Structure 1
Amino acid sequence: MAGPGETPANGMKIDPAALRTFATRLRTESDTVAKLDSGLAAAAGALPGTGWSAACTGAATSVDNAMARIGSRVTHIADTVEQAGKVIIDTDQQLREDLEKIGIRA
C-alpha cells in the first residue's frame, strides 16, 4: 500500500479468458494422460514360458493406475485454476459495486 505522496504500485492484472483457456487445456491434457495405454498388457504374451507375462500384467496395472491418478490430479489443478478465476472476477465486481455505493468510480 502506498503511503502519503507515494505512487501506488501497479495492481495485479488478471486475464480471466487466459485462465479459462489454461484450465481447458489442462483438462484436455488430463484426458489424454488418463487414456494412455502403456502397451504392457499387449506385451504380456510376447515371451511364453517365462515370467514376462506376470511381470507385464503387474506393471500394466501399476502404470495404468498411475496414469489415471496423474490425469485426476491435473483435472483438479484445472478446476482450481477455473475457480480462482471466478473468485477474482466476483471479488473485482463486488469491490467495484462497493466503491460505487460510497461514490467512488472504479
Structure 2
Amino acid sequence: MKKWHPFASMPEQYIGLQDIINKQVEVPQPLLTEEQMEQINFTLIEALHTNKQVYLTYYKQGQCITETGFIQFVDSFGELFIFIDDVFELKNKMRLSELIDIGFM
C-alpha cells in the first residue's frame, strides 16, 4: 500500500486512501464468556490492591491494543477503570466493556 503514497498529492485523495487502509486492518470486537469476564474482574481487583504491573489488551476503533502499566481505580458500577501506562505515565480512562484481556507481568 505504500506505493500509492506518492499519488496522494490531493488531501482528499490521501484521506480517502487512508480510510480504505484503516478499514482493511479493522477487526471485530471479540466476545468474552462469563468465565473470562469473571477472571478479568478478579485480576483487576488484585492488581488494584497489590499495585502490581499488568498488561492490558483492549479494543479501540477496530484494533486490539496491548499496553503495560498499573491499575489506579476501578468503578464497577460506572463500568470504568483508570489505567496508568508504563511508558509516559499517562492516566487512561477506559470502559470495562473495551477490556479483552489482563494479566500480571
Tell which has more relative contact order, 1 or 2 (C-alpha 8 A, sep 6+): 1
Structure having the higher strand fraction is: 2
Fold conserved between structures, TM > 0.5: no
Greater gyration radius: 1
Structure having the higher helix fraction is: 1
Smaller-chain TM-score bracket: under 0.3
